[in-house]
Amino acid sequence: MAIGPGTILYVVRRLLQAVPIVVGIVVLNFLLLQLAPGDAATVLAGEAGGAPPEYVAQLRERFGLDRPMHVQLLLYVKNVLTLDLGYSFRNSMPVSELIFGRLGPTLLLMGTTLIVSVLSGVLLGLVAATAVNTWRDRVISVAAVIAYATPLFWIGLMLILLFSIKLDWLPTTGMEDVVAFNEGWDRVLDIARHLVLPTLTLSLFYMALYTRMMRAAMLDQRGMDYVVTARSKGLAERLITYRHVLRNAVLPVVTMAGVQVGSLLGGSVIVESVFAWPGLGQLAFQSLFARDFNLLLGIFFLSACLVVLVNLIVDLVYLVLDPRIKLG
């Protein structure tokens, strides 16, 4: 596949097509949040240990919560379209500033998780499939089932218990040691050490899934006619596996990984909470309980954009991997 003007045109078109989708999501999110009981005013009042109704009404007026819903919605959509995500009264900061501060850590966690889970899943699946029905295959398959079935937060807690508390090898919380004031490579190393446990926790489930998919895809592809052709050409089995089967088998795994980026975001809410990782997931969790709807909507909006973007990237990757796919 050549990246030419056609590809750029395609990307631009896909981005344009994404606009109505994202707006739709924004509207839907807004309406869904209206269903939740209470608002920021009641929470603020509640935290102050109770407040007179006049004060709550005053708060509502200040936040614009007293206006009719459709007016609020139109106003919000209009603001979003001009990339103004509003103000978080809870944190006393513009939402965009809050979110973008947290975006980096989340992307870091998601990115490493994605890479680790896909690479190790593909690798383990490959090993299992090339040694099908031997002890290697069985160990990998059983481990994959266990990892698949175990809840995320429990894995996280157990990993903390083992590696941080018992062995004291790795830090448990945060993204870096803020009081150490590391710089340069020391800081990178420090972040990497903090990254190990959350990544491992979040990766295990997906790794198990990809391992199973890869194993199945490899076995499936090995039964295909082109493999017989390759044998009839006199190719050695290793060459057939690596040159012919592997690439064909990776395709479904890539598709799946692309689809699951969205759920990876969901999974990061739990993992970020367990490991106090200063990312979007944690922020979403806090803002939900504070009824900080502006902030929550902002996070949702960003997540939607992220998923749309990742899907586009996956499609482009697919274009490189599979020559049968045409831009359209």
234-262: burial string, b at 16+ Cβ within 10 Å, e else: eeeeeebbeebbbebbbbbbbbbbbebbb
What sign for the dihedral angle of Cα 99, 102, 108, 113?
A: negative
243 binds other proteins (CB under 8 A): yes
Nearer to other proteins, 122 or 160 (CB): 122
321 binds other proteins (CB under 8 A): yes
In angstroms, give the least distance from the CB of 229 to other proteins.
Answer: 5
137 binds other proteins (CB under 8 A): no
User: Do residues 59 and 44 make contact, with C-beta atoms less than 8 angstroms apart?
Assistant: yes
142 binds other proteins (CB under 8 A): no
Q: Directed axis angle between helix 261-274 and helix 95-130, to 10°? A: 110
Contact region for other proteins (CB under 8 A) — 182-190, 206-214, 281-289, 319-327?
319-327
Give ∠ CA 223-228-231 in degrees, rounded to 5. 125
Contact with other proteins (CB under 8 A): which of 3, 4, 13, 266? 13
In angstroms, give the least distance from the CB of 226 to other proteins.
Answer: 4
d(CA 267, CA 201): 10
Contact region for other proteins (CB under 8 A) — 40-48, 133-141, 228-236, 305-313?
228-236
Nearer to other proteins, 170 or 327 (CB): 327
In angstroms, give the least distance from the CB of 66 to other proteins.
Answer: 38
Contact with other proteins (CB under 8 A): which of 239, 242, 263, 313? 239
Nearer to other proteins, 201 or 241 (CB): 241
- What CA–CA distances, in Å, run from 204 to 102, 114, 152, 198, 263? 24, 11, 8, 10, 14
Nearer to other proteins, 110 or 230 (CB): 230
Contact region for other proteins (CB under 8 A) — 23-31, 97-105, 139-147, 239-247?
239-247
Nearer to other proteins, 158 or 224 (CB): 224
User: Do residues 88 and 295 make contact, with C-beta atoms less than 8 angstroms apart?
Assistant: yes
Report phi then psi at 202, rounded to 5.
-75, -30
Contact region for other proteins (CB under 8 A) — 146-154, 294-302, 305-313, 317-325?
317-325
5 binds other proteins (CB under 8 A): no
d(CA 45, CA 287): 16
The pattern of x and - marking residues 206 through 225 that bind other proteins according to CB under 8 A reads: ------------------xx
242 binds other proteins (CB under 8 A): no
d(CA 69, CA 246): 54
Render 260-305 in DSSP notation, one character per residue: THHHHHHHHHHHHHHTT--SHHHHHHHHHHTT-HHHHHHHHHHHHH
What would the two tokens of residue 325 be?
Answer: 């796919």
Contact with other proteins (CB under 8 A): which of 16, 48, 149, 178? 16
Block residue for tokens 């796919």: 325
Contact with other proteins (CB under 8 A): which of 62, 67, 78, 231? 231
Q: Which residues of the chain form contacts with other proteins (CB under 8 A)?
A: 13, 16-17, 20, 224-226, 228-236, 239, 243-244, 247-248, 321-324, 328
